[in-house]
Structure 1
Amino acid sequence: MARAWRWTAAGCARSSAEEAVPELIDVSPRLHAGLAVWPGDTRFGLERLLRLADGDPLELSALRSTVHAGAHADAPSHFRPGAPAIDRLPLAPYFGPCRLIDAAVGPRGRVRPADLAAEVDAPRVLIRTGTRPDPDRWSEDFAGLSVELVRHLGERGVVLAGIDTPSMDPFADPAIPAHHALAEHGIAILEGLDLAGVPAGRYTLAAFPLRLAGAEASPVRAVLIR
């Protein structure tokens, strides 16, 4: 168990042992102007409106960005007309027990059940393909999920699937069959996770989307807890 942190007038400091909390592992890429996004999409940008250094009484910023930047949750409205937007989805799938599983898959491939290095024994599954290790460099070589695997997850009661690539489908397949299969099985989608260096195994996941009215997706702060 790691100790908690608390804010003081001097900054951040460790709290007492009585306030011990579990270890928190951040699996969200840092949002910044250099973060790679889908070709043609809007990069993350932060506009400084007020600055203390300029004599303003406070710092104030505005942001402009695709809602698919970094770690993010897709809503069914992203690819299905009339389907629920992100603010209409239940929050329960985005918090609870999960398993991080490695997958033996090559560039532009699709993960099949036989490619998984562990059994699906948790209601949330994060799949590490290792096919897009650098969130700041765009590549079209990332892998996705097969419809067969999505069916496998659905049969085992999975409510959320996450992946370390920009999409559940490889770049070259505009039909996005894995997305549609996930929607048909009622499985929530997390994409763009930074799972590099995190030990495979069981965790508690917390990755809530913002309540963006009518949006087809939302950035999340994805955290693994153990």
Structure 2
Amino acid sequence: MIIDISRLLNTNTPTWPGDTPFSYQLTWSQEETGSVNVGQITTSCHTATHVDAPFHFKDRGMTIEQLPLEIFVGDALVVDVTTKGEITIQDFDGLNLKDVRRVLLKTDTWTNDLFPETIPIIDPELGPFFLENGIELLGVDLPSVDPLDSKTLDTHHSLLKNGVHILEGLNLTDVEPGLYRLTALPLKVEGADGSPVRAILETL
């Protein structure tokens, strides 16, 4: 079974305050061309479900087309942290992380079409913890892995330092904790700081 964990893109899709809103419109209609409809999309690279490239928060970081695709395809562990105001290493106590390379955090904080006013804190110490346990991708159902008002982006930088890539804006509302196969490939956009993705989970 395939579970779509992407947020819908339309004119109501919430965008980071001040960022470019999503829009789709027809450039040419079938009536005008006599054969086809042709549309155009305008959006931020960080709207809805998306991958952050390191260049997003580090001038000399890798851009989106330079990221290894195998990071975004493969088994992923969904971890339920819906009761947590702060997510720390202790939330992984008792979980078997052997052979797990991708972790998705289910917070259920962002379950509507409004940009959240507050989100759980993700402890930067998860960076070295993930490195120690061989985890190379962190996905969240949040607009960011850092507090919304953060300027230092400590968790972004900690994850990067420890070789952990970032997938944000997931929709995990209907997903039970457990192991799945994830596919969430970014677009091959030269020089980009991020990319929207169509993220899916497959039951194993």
Pick aligned residue for 2:20 from 10, 19, 42: 42
The within-5 A match list for 1:71-150 is 71-106=49-84, 109-116=85-92, 119=95, 121=97, 122-134=100-112, 136-150=113-127
Higher mean C-alpha displacement, 139-148 vs 77-86: 139-148
Q: By how many angstroms is 1:172 displaced?
A: 2.3
Deviation, 1:217, is 0.2
CA contact (8 A) 1:104 1:117 kept: no
Could you tell me how far apart the structure 2 residues matched to 1:55 and 1:150 are?
Answer: 52
What is the aligned partner in structure 2 of residue 174 from structure 1? 151
Contact 2:125 2:158 in 1 (8 A): no
> Structure 2 vs 1, CA of residues 34 and 118 (structure 1 numbering), >3 Å: closer, same or farther?
farther
Give aligned-pair identity as a percent.
34
Q: Which is further off, 143-152 or 67-76?
A: 143-152
Q: What are the ranges of 5 or more consecutive residues in structure 1 without an aligned counterpart?
A: 1-22
**Separation of aligned partners in 2, 1:206 and 1:65:** 22
Match of 2:183 among 201, 206, 214: 206
Q: 1:110: Cα distance to partner? A: 3.2
Relative distance call for 1:224 and 1:49 in structure 2 (3 A) is: same
Q: Quick one: distance in 1 between partners of 2:38 and 2:17?
A: 29
**Greater CA deviation, 138-147 or 90-99?**
138-147
Deviation at 1:86, TM superposition (A): 0.4
Partner SS state of residue 190, structure 1: strand
Opposite residue 218 of structure 1, the aligned amino acid is: S
Q: Which residue identity is paired with 2:81?
A: A
Residue 221 of structure 1 corresponds to: 198
Range that drifts further, 189-198 or 43-52: 43-52
2:140 is aligned to: 163
- Which runs of no fewer than 5 residues in structure 2 stay unpaired? none
TM-score by length of 2: 0.93
Task: Between 28-37 and 115-124, report the one with greater CA deviation.
Answer: 115-124
Q: Secondary structure at the match of 2:156?
A: helix
> Which structure is higher in RCO with an 8 Å CA cutoff and minimum separation 6?
2
Aligned partner of residue 153 in structure 1, secondary structure: helix
Higher mean displacement: 115-124 or 178-187: 115-124
Shift of 1:117: 7.5
SS of 2:128's partner is helix
Q: Output aligned runs, 1:3-18, within 5 Å.
A: none
Letter in 2 for 1:119: L
3-state DSSP of counterpart to 2:105: strand
Q: Aligned-pair distance for 1:26? A: 0.6
TM-score relative to the length of structure 1: 0.84
Instruction: Supply the AA of the counterpart residue of 2:186.
Output: P
